[in-house]
Each structure stands twice: as structure tokens, then as C-alpha cells.
Chain A
Amino acid sequence: MALTLTCPVCGKRNGYEFRYGGEDKGPRPAEKGLTPRSWCDYVHMNKCVAGIQKEWWYHKDGCGSWFTTHRDTVRNLEVNEPEAPK
């Protein structure tokens, strides 16, 4: 409940205003060639990172936009995008 999130439209807001939309897994795969397992993996399997992950949030009590942000799942705080490892 201590979470705050930065909505691209409304700015930094109380975490209560948002709904979690899951880890960012990329766009929906094309239907051709999908096996039951690969589809199930896309829909249901998560990485559950202990650390920083990119995820989707919906500003339900605000502008109604879906956006991605980075969150430290250990401290439950929104953080900046980590620099890519060199």
C-alpha cells in the first residue's frame, strides 16, 4: 500500500489508483505455430523476479491508460529503468 506510481499522463500518484497488469512479456504472439504449451507459457508463466522488473499498470481511478514502469519487487518501490548490462 505504500507504493506510488508515475502515470505518463497524470504523474506520480497513490498506488491505490492503479491496477497491476502483470509482467511485461511483449506483444501477443502470432497464432500460427503456437503450441498449447507455448501459449500457456505466454499467458500464465511469470518470472517473478526478486528485484527490478518491467511491468504493466492501469490507471483505473485516473486517466485510464496502460503503461509500463519498473518496480523493485523486494522493496515494492517504483524505480528508474536499470541500465543495460555492458
Chain B
Amino acid sequence: MNRLNHLPTLRINPSEKRSLTYRGKSYWGFAGDTVATALFANGVRVFGRSLKYHRPRGLYSLDGECSNTCMQVDGIPNVRTENTPLKEGMRVKGQNVKGSAQFDWMGFMDKLDWLMPAGFYYRTMHKPAAVWPIAMKQVRKAAGLGTLSPDFEMKGLFDEIYPTADICVIGGGVAGMRAALAAAESGLRIILLEARPHLGGCFDYRVSPYNDDKKLYERARELADQVRQKDNIRVFTHTSMVGAYNNNLITAFQVGKEQDEFDERYIEIRAVSVVVATGCIERPLLFEHNEKPGVMQVGCAHRLAHTYGLLPGEQAVFSVGHDLGLEAAVDLFDLGLKIPCVADIRKDGQDPRLLMALVERRIPLLNGWVAAKVHGGKQVKKVTLTTVEGTVRRMIPCDLLVASAGLTPVNGPLTLAHAKLVYDSHTGYFLPTDLPEKMFAAGRMTGRNHPLSIEASGRLAGLQAAASYGVNNKTALAEAETALSGLPGPERGCKLVTAPVKGRKTFICFDEDTTVKNIKQAIDMGFDVPELIKRFTSAGTGPGQGGIPGHNLPLYVAQYTASTTPPKPTTVRPPLVPTFLATYAGTNHDMCKRTPVHDAQVKAGGIFRRIGVWQRARYFSGDFDCREDILNVRNNVGLLDASTLGKFRIHGPEALKALQRVYVSDMSKIKEGRIKYSAMCNDDGCVIDDGVVVKTGENDYYFTTSTGRACVTVEWIRYHTRFDGWDFHLVNLTDAMGVVNISGPNARKVLEKVADADVSNVAFPFAGYREFTVKGLIPVRAMRLGFVGELSYELHIPSSWMPAIWDILEEAGREFGIRNFGVEAQNVLRMEKGHIILGQESEQRTNLLDLGLGFLWDRTKNEAKTVGAVALRQAEADPGRLTLVGIQMEDNARAPKDGSIIVDDRVRGYVCTARKSFTTGEAVGMALVESQLSDIGARLDIFEDECNGRLLYARVVSMPFYDPEGQRMKI
């Protein structure tokens, strides 16, 4: 098909070709085309089949208000091809068809409409009950939209941004642009959203004169240039606003252009004031076969020609109710479209200049006439016109019917913002009566249609928004008000909803195949409110989000029921336009941290698992029991990366008071050069954290927390001291410091080789804290701990030195056979010692006493108001609590799974950690059990997941299981 390449309004670039494949054939389009316009240029007229009746469907609105042009593009179903930009190599397929869109074997369904009255899906096929499953299967096979293959994987990049703006203008037509420019005068930061790929709105494709020397499209482009030159206006094109929330939070989705890095992105705008200038859509005209391919709206036909260079047909009849229709007829006639006649629903009130233009072109105008029916198989061949009263009929051959009842405002954004919409009998629009705080409406949606009025209302709204932001612009505001009042106000609109027809094939909702007859049936059955009729007939619940039936439905219901109360629109909800779930999901949010020695552990064969925000090496071989690693720590020496520990400095004159508040122990007893192990509880006395504290100087402490608590420790301490105003400072050193744990009987031999200090048992005893350097350079904070039950040093080193010290220790330990051990090996080693890990040997309700850690709690420091102390005092007297005990399996062959429950006639506790110990040869573990079962020797019945009723049995034993005297860590 030849394009009208000479038009100055074109938005395609005829020098840049883009290819697509459809039904095995390759087609060409141009940059700037949508998928649908490219197919249309290649002769495709039937784009898809309807939901129930498999009726052929074609281009209708070009703005995605219906599912007519929904197709499968690159494997993604339900893509609205009419507003999806064409990209190189797209693969397009029809959907909901047996065969093809052109020849659909299911086409016979259209003849069966008498079988499917309103609500048939709810009312029939369920008696007898056995029918329903069969019927449902058949219905679902025959009806529907696109299908998603089970192995489908969404490709592409889905971005998200959260910009703030002083003023957000929704709608990039002339009203929106004038509003943005007016508000930008005072230097405010403006965000301008436009759903189409370019600014200009309804001026963009029109060549009627704006004034003596400019046409409308030239004016639009002039304004767009002015907008672009303003540094303080940020423009988002191809961005559909989908949600409005209180506090003027606006959400939108932007479709990526070819050169953009993202395919689609979520935009959440926090604006102080908002201007809504979303304009109008056409209200569909209701008549028989009103959605047959070849019937399209005025704007669709007009834009096909002027934006995409495609003449929409050869011979066209117009049936319109608005001056835009007459303008399009004149304009398309000049481009070569044959027009046998134009039917105008209105009997008078047309723009005299347009009437003159029609006369000049000898296009007959039928005032008070409307289309009643189109004829033809898959495409329009003839149209029957009738007077509005239905008295006279006339049939005219044509291949295109441009049909539109009138205009109706896009007021979804106002509804979302809880504005009240009231039917206005002058314009026939639903207009807002009380706009929310700091929200303003402008442009065509207010009923104004004169180009100068549209602009003036935009400017006024922009200034009002700026004033509501706090700008003092009284003079400009008064001038803008005067200017607008001198211009034509809201115009009288066409009220006709339906042609004088019975409505068996008059579709009020295209997406759901709902006819006017269906609506009548619903009303006759007693549904009298549009909201209920909508649900019963499913009109307006399809992918077009109610774009086609949105305002026709309440208007028709009011008309048919001869209601005395004014019609009310049905509720709209976000998202206002269909969007990908992928865009909501955004890009991968699962970001995790790696320790400074991640790479070294990868090289050593580490198998990593996610722990909190971290990736940690859990195993170092395929043996997930970690036998070799464990025995190496017990008999030799092992190296563990513990950098994920929370590490903090607290200093200042009142630092100790803060520590006393959150730690259960008496922290004033910390001795220099010694470590203090303690725990933090919450206000219920439940343990939330444990770790060690050292004193590094006067009023200066360094402490560790568990991995999972690192991110909330600062918050926790400041929360519980928030009323006190104490003078202390907290520094989170978690990422600044790394931690190496070197454990095993040979640990000292390794450390001796590299440390610049005496690390003998006398100089650096168990529970000691020392600061020294390694190799004369690397500063180390060393603690002697016993978590794994062997001679063990925990070295805290600045992160940047971590890879170096890791290499140094591995090198020094090579002669002893040092090897890495992972988190699982550590887990078993400490379990053999009966040392707890919070979250494993505890859950939310486990308090300090349950864990047998009551010795940590200092009861004398009442003045400190220690967090948890009051609750602990109360819990002491509570007999109905769980107690942590050691267990040994009666059958030492294997341990139960972690988390298995302990039962008799009810649940009595659960196994926290249990392993087969390689050190002792026994299957042992720790369990939280009711205190009645906690005596040594008590027998426990363990119900393991998937055990099929075969219980496991254990006995309560004393802990620790290994080295009960604790000699080995003190050597």
C-alpha cells in the first residue's frame, strides 16, 4: 500500500524500514509505525477474533481502548498492537482463532448468539451438576483471549523510577503543554506525561487553521518545542498514567523506544500539585455490526492518514455527531478518499465553515441521520443510514464507515483521585464537581473544544497548580481567568447513544462481546444499576479496561430505563490501561552482598547459599555432611570467612548507658583486653541477638551482632534510647570490616608465623582481646572465642585487607594442611558444643531463660531499664514454656531433619538442629521441648516430615556433646 509520504504531519520515517513476520510472511513497516499500522499498510484488515462469537475485528480506535487488535507478539499474548511501536524483527500471530484471523473455523459461533443470553455462563449448564465440568471445558476452549505457553519466559528489561515533581501534568496535548509551560514560568519542576509517543494531542494530526498563519499541527509542534526547551519540564512520552493515590502520588508506565535500554518501566511520581488534561476519547456509536472491520472512529481514520500516511479506505461514509467528524471528512476527501455522504446526528449547531467546506467539495450532508447497520461478511460493503427517529432508510455502498457518536472525557484519573463526577446535560459529559486538593482539570475534558479555549484553560490550570504549590502569581492568574472567560465555553454535545435498532448485533462492549440486547436482557431480569449490569454482562471488564463501553453503558441504561435520576459512570480502578505484570515486578530486586573474600572461596570450590542479604559459602565439597572439613577443624586447623557478622562501634560519654539499656548483662564490668559475650532481648524478654562486646578505649566499644541483625541494630539501639537524649555515637562497621575465623588445635601455629605479637596462651588467653599487626602492616583486632569448641581466633580486619590476609593465612597454614570450612561445618561443630545460633535454636517466642542463658542476665541494674528485663522477671514464674535440651537418638544411625516436631498426643516441641556427629559417632542435636519433657533421660517421640507414621525416638541428654569441660578451646 502506498503511503501518503508528502504529509507534513507524519510520525513515521519512510526512510527507515522495519520488518515483521505475520503468518509466515515477512512484511515491511517504517520506524514510527505501530505493529497494527504496519500490518494495515500490508493489507491486513482482520486483526483478530472476538471473545465469544469469534467475530472478525479490525482497527477501530488506534488508542488501545478495545481488544480488537490484540495479538501475540514475540510470544507475548494480548499485546495491543495498535499502540505497540514496531521494532525490527517482531513475530506476530493471531489469537483466539482456529485457523487464522481471516478464516476462523470457530466463526460459526456468531450464529449461536441466541444460545448465549446475558449471564448464560452463570445461569445455565449447571443442572444436572455433572454437565458443568464438561461444559466449562468446552466454553473455555471456544472462548478467550491469547494463551500463554507454560514454558513462556518474559524477556526484556523492566525498569522503575521514582521521580518527584512540584507539578505533574497528565496529558501532553496542547492544554497539558500550556499548563506545563505556565507552571514552569515560576521555575517549578514539572513532569509531563503523554500516552502517545509524541506530544500534541488532538492538534497533532489536524491541518485546520489555528490562526491566520498557522495550522493546528504547527501550533502543537511549536508548543512541543517550547516544552522541550524548558529545562525544568521533564517529558515522558508513550507513558500511560495508570493510578492516582492520595497525596498526589501518580503512577504510570512508559513503553521503551527502540533506543531505550528498558522495554517498559514503572514510574511513580510524587507531585505536590497535579493538572489533569487527558482530553477526550470518542464515544462509540451503537448500531448493528458496529465493530465490523471497516468501521472505525473519526480519530482513527484521521490519524491513519495524517500520522501514518495510510488512507483508511477508498469509499467512506461518515456517521458522526461532532465537528471533528466533519473536519475529518473534508480533510480525508482532500487526500483522495471518496465520500458519498456524511450523516450527522445533530440537526443543527455545526461549525458554518465546515458546512461551507462540505458544500465546496459537493459532499452531501444528512442532518439528523445516523448509521443503522453495516453489511458485508468480514468487511464493510454497504451501510444502511436512517434518520435518528428511524423513519427513513437508505443504503449506500462503501468499504469504510467512519462512525462516532460524539466525544466523552477521559476522566479515569479524576475518578481514581476520588473526584465526584456528575452528568452534565449541556455537554453530555461526566464532569467533576469537587476536585481533590491541589488537582486541576483542563482542556477538552472540561467540555471546551475551541482551540484557543483549550489552550487558555490549560494555561489557567497550570497557574492554579503553581499557586496551590505556593507560588505568588495572582496577577497572572487573574489575567488567565479573564482570558478564558472571553473565549467560547463548553460546547453542547451529542447525546445520542444508539441508532434506532433492536440491538442483537449492536456491540456495546467489544472485548466481552456484550450487545445492547444483552444489556436489555439484564435490565429486564431486574438489574437496574450500571455497576451490576456491568458485572452480570461483563461489559467493560475486558482488556480495554472499559474504554469502549465506559460511558455508553450508564447513558444507555439511563435511556432504556427512562430513569429520572442522572446517569452515573461505573467505577474505574487502577491500572487504567493494561500493563505487564513484568513491569510491576520490575527488575531483579534480589540483590545480595558478597564478602571481601568471596572470590577466594569460589576458587576453593565453595558452594554458596543465601543467608540474609549475603552469599555465604555453605559447603566446600559435594559431601554436604562436611565430614572432612569438620574433622580437619577438630584435629588440625580450618579457615572460615565470618565477614557477614554485624560489627559496630559505639562511643561517647554515654555509650555505656546505651549498652546497659539493650544488653541483658552488666556491661560496666567489661574489662579491657577481655571479650564479653551477651545477648539482647526485646520487650517481651525474647532473645533477638547475641554477640560479643569489647572495650577499645575510654567510652569506646566495639561489638558484634548476628548476621541477620546487622541491618537493624542501629535502629534498635536508637529506638530504645530515643527518650533519653544520651550523648553517644553509633557506627555500623559491618561492611568496613571483614572477619576471619581460624580454628583448630594448630591455629596458634599458623597465627604465630604471621602475627607481630605474642599469641601464646599466656600472652593471649581464652576470652582475650588483642590488637596487633600482621606482617608489620595489616591491623588486626583479634578475639579468642570458642564457638566451634577448639582453639580459635577471630580476626577483624579492614575489608580492603581481607583478600591479603586470607592469602597470608592460607600460605602460612599450608604446611599444617589448613583448609576452608563453610557454614554447615561450623553449624555442626558448634552444635556438638551446644552453642546456639539464634533463629535456629530460637524462634520469635523463645526467651533468654528458655535457652538456658539466664546467667547472662544481671538483675541488679534496674536503673538501666534494660529492654526485656521486666518481661524476664515475669517469665521466671511461668511454667508453661519450652526449654532447650540436648537430645541423643536411640538409633545412632541418623539424625532427624531440622524442624521435626516432638509429639505425644499433641505437639510438645521441635528439633532445632540435629546431626550425626563424626566426632563422637552419635546422632545428637538440640530441641526445644515443653519443660515437663526436659529432664535428663526423658524419651522424646519425633515425627519427621514424610515419615509415614514411623516415629524416631530420642532421649534428653546433657550438653555439650563434645569436650564438656571446655578444655580444648583454652589450650
Contacts and interface: CB of A to CB of B under 8 A. Distances in A.
Contact of A1 (B245, B714, B862): B245
B718 interface: yes
B247 A39 contact: no
B249 interface: yes
Given A43-B683, A64-B715, A31 B862 contact: yes
B799 to A, nearest CB: 21
Contacts of A66: 715, 718-719, 722
Interface string A1-21: 111100000000010100101
A85 interface: no
A3 B247 contact: yes
Interface in A36-86: 36, 39, 43, 56, 58, 60, 64-66, 75-77
Given A30-B865, A31-B869, A2 B719 contact: no
B729 to A, nearest CB: 11
Nearest to B244: A2
Interface residues of B, number: 24
B723 A64 contact: no
Contact of B718 (A36, A64, A76): A64
B874 A36 contact: yes
Contacts of A28: 720, 723, 865
A58 B716 CA distance: 10
A28 B868 CA distance: 12
Nearest to A15: B247
Given A58-B715, A66-B722, A4 B865 contact: no
Given A31-B869, A36-B874, A43-B684, A58 B270 contact: no
B246 interface: yes
A1 B249 contact: yes
Contact of A32 (B249, B684, B720, B862): B862
Interface size range on A against B: 20 to 34
A30 B870 CA distance: 10
Interface in B669-696: 683-684
A39 B685 CA distance: 12
Nearest to B869: A31
Contacts of B683: 43
B355 interface: no
Contacts of A3: 247
A39 B719 contact: no
B123 to A, nearest CB: 40
A58 B865 CA distance: 22
Contacts of B871: 39
B162 interface: yes
Contact of B715 (A4, A19, A76): A19
Contacts of B724: 27
A2 B249 CA distance: 6
Quick one: which of B719, B722, B723, B871 has the most chain A CB within 10 A? B722
B247 A2 contact: yes
Contacts of B718: 58, 64-66
A65 to B, nearest CB: 7
Given A31-B865, A39-B871, A43-B684, A64 B714 contact: yes
A60 B715 contact: yes
Interface string B43-75: 000000000000000000000000000000000
Interface in B692-731: 714-715, 718-720, 722-724
A21 B721 CA distance: 13
Given A4-B270, A66-B719, 6 more contacts: A14-B270, A31-B869, A56-B719, A58-B719, A64-B714, A65-B718
Please name the 10 residue pairs, one residue from A and one from B, whose CB atoms are nearest each other, closest first. Answer: A27-B723, A2-B249, A2-B245, A2-B247, A66-B722, A43-B683, A2-B246, A31-B862, A39-B870, A36-B874
Interface of A: 1-4, 14, 16, 19, 21, 26-28, 30-32, 34, 36, 39, 43, 56, 58, 60, 64-66, 75-77
24 contacts: A1-B249, A2-B247, A3-B247, A4-B247, A14-B164, A19-B715, A26-B723, A27-B724, A28-B720, A28-B723, A31-B865, A31-B869, A31-B870, A36-B874, A39-B874, A43-B684, A56-B722, A58-B715, A58-B718, A64-B718, A65-B718, A66-B722, A76-B247, A77-B246
